[in-house]
Amino acid sequence: MLLDVRTYKTKPGCVPAQLELYQKYGYPVQLRYMGEPLCYAVAETGELNTFTHVWVYASAADREEKRARMAQDPDWKVYLAENVKAGYIVEQKNTLMVPTAFAPPIPMPKIHK
């Protein structure tokens, strides 16, 4: 199992607008290829103006295949273009992680079609 932990930082005060843009253009596309995220959360303390989402994959190959298919989807390209146009995101950090042996099992997401 592979966890893709993604944290984004926006311009101050732009998290709500970025999440609205994502919900409209990006989320429906990601559901088709990757299923529901394990978590999608907004910072309440600490490094503000950030949000993190975690995606679950069976393996690195599963992640690569799903993301490659999604990248070809015209709707995903619309989302990326809207992101550039809006300019809310100023930083992105991705970390690939594996669960420890003693952690509770993480269910694989169901794909929405």
Give the helix/strand (H/E) hosting 28. helix 27-34
Residue 75 domain flag: yes
Residue 105 domain flag: no
Residue 103 domain flag: no
**pLDDT value at residue 93:** 97
Sign of the Cα torsion 17, 8, 34, 30 reads positive
- Residue-level pLDDT, tens digit, the chain, 113 residues: 999 999 999 999 999 999 999 999 999 999 999 999 999 999 999 999 999 999 999 999 999 999 999 999 999 999 999 999 999 999 999 999 999 989 888 878 877 76
Report the CATH number that the domain containing residue 34 is assigned in CATH.
3.30.70.100
Residue 39 domain flag: yes
Predicted TM-score (pTM) of the model is 0.89
Number of independent structural domains in the chain: 1
Residue 104 domain flag: no
Residue 86 domain flag: yes
Q: 50: domain range?
A: 2-97
